[in-house]
Structure 1
Amino acid sequence: MNIIPLVTYAIIASFTPGPNNIISMTHARNQGFRKTLPFISGVAAGCLLIMFLSSYFNLILHQYIPRITPVLNVLGCVYMLYLALKIMRSKPADAQENKVNHYSFLFGFTLQFINPKVILYGLTAISVFVLPLGQSHVHLIVFSLLLTLIGISANMTWAFGGMLFQSFLLRYERPVNIVMGMLLIYSALSILM
């Protein structure tokens, strides 16, 4: 069983900019790594549930996935473009606003159900890479855990980067936001290619 293509896809898809990664980086930059952990925990729980749902929906809808995927791709692209524009147009954070913890476990968890990147990640990884390797319950659970672990390692890396480069990111907030927005636009457009 060769899982190298699956792991390669999962790493590339997980480490590119997306809502989870950018929020983790920004929140860790503003609040510190430790205060970002509840959000990351919520992201992990939501991501794992999305992976389980993707596994079983793929089994049920296997014959319909080619017709559903283009619609999900367009919706995901539009949402990511909206987030990119919002990030690029954002103004430097207000110091008082930064004292409030907006990013809780519940926010991280519920974000996964409106985050097209995670949904497309799950649907694509399961349908293209996992189902051809096997369709047992144990198989689907193990690969759901693996995909979630890779995704959360990316999320934590972005948060750690936000904390580590805090002074740089605060000093150059506007250009960094523009670069992050451009990377998110690239990620959004790559969904359609």
Structure 2
Amino acid sequence: MTEQIFPLLLFSMAASVTPGPNNLIAAASGARFGFWRTLPQMLGVGVGFPLLVIAIGLGLGQVFAAVPGLHLALKVAGAAYLLFLAYGLMRAAGPDAETARTGESAPTFLQSAAFQWVNPKAWTVALGVIPAFVRPDGEILPQVLLVAGVFMITAVPSLAVWALFGAALSRMLSQEKLRQRVNGLLAALVALSVILLFI
């Protein structure tokens, strides 16, 4: 599998950095709560997604092939969660004392790790990467662990770029009206990702 590490790394970097629910959530959280308070979300994705890859690599993908309704149920649950996040983002104010007063908090490690199991982009990438980089004629477990490890390495830096973008954007937006428009745009992008789930 050593000859596949470089292509796998390139695939992982491309899949990790391109827009999707995890990255949009990181950008929105960075804008709302700042980079450091978004770190648990980044780490949650960095652990949750590789666990999903391992589960699919060890046979969970076959369960979804056998029970298509289960996949649809996960899509609906993921869509509902994304719409909930988009609604919260649209109503969010600036990253100031108001956040502490209202008790709002950034996405947690466990929330973000669990979200991978209903995140359609995560499923699409995981279901695509296993047949592409795991050879059935070799030992399956070491190959699956390698794929998961590569994604673990690339996920957090990619999310950090999005969170830094959100945090920088928030600092530039001193006017509340402009900040609300950017929040609305980010919320619309998160909501749009819901539409893409069913295409």
Output the TM-score relative to the length of structure 2: 0.71
Superimposed CA distance per residue, residues 123-150 of structure 1 (whole angstroms, 9 cap, x where no aligned partner)? 3223233135425111111112233344
Cα 1:73–1:6 change in 2 (3 A) is farther
Inter-partner Cα distance in structure 1 for 2:16 and 2:196: 11
* Residue number in structure 2 paired with 1:191: 197
Any gaps of 5 or more consecutive residues in structure 1? none
Cα 1:64–1:153 change in 2 (3 A) is farther
Other structure's SS at 2:115 match? coil
Inter-partner Cα distance in structure 2 for 1:13 and 1:188: 18
Any gaps of 5 or more consecutive residues in structure 2? none
Cα 1:51–1:129 change in 2 (3 A) is closer
Cα 1:62–1:77 change in 2 (3 A) is closer
* Residue number in structure 1 paired with 2:152: 148
* Residue number in structure 2 paired with 1:84: 86
Cα 1:87–1:163 change in 2 (3 A) is closer
The range that moved more, 5-14 or 66-75, is 5-14
Inter-partner Cα distance in structure 2 for 1:127 and 1:174: 37
Output the TM-score relative to the length of structure 1: 0.73
Residue identity opposite 1:11 in structure 2:
A
CA contact 2:24–2:190 (8 Å) conserved in 1: no
Cα 1:189–1:125 change in 2 (3 A) is same
Q: Shift of residue 160 of structure 1?
A: 1.1
CA contact 2:52–2:126 (8 Å) conserved in 1: no
Other structure's SS at 2:114 match? coil
Q: Shift of residue 60 of structure 1?
A: 5.3
1:16 aligns with 2:22: no
Residue identity opposite 1:80 in structure 2:
L
* Residue number in structure 2 paired with 1:75: 77
Alignment of 1:108-147 (within 5 A): 108-115=109-116, 118=119, 120-133=120-133, 134-135=135-136, 136-147=140-151
Supply the RMSD in Å over aligned alpha carbons. 3.5
Cα 1:101–1:83 change in 2 (3 A) is closer
Residue identity opposite 2:93 in structure 1:
P
Cα 1:151–1:4 change in 2 (3 A) is same
Q: Shift of residue 74 of structure 1?
A: 2.6
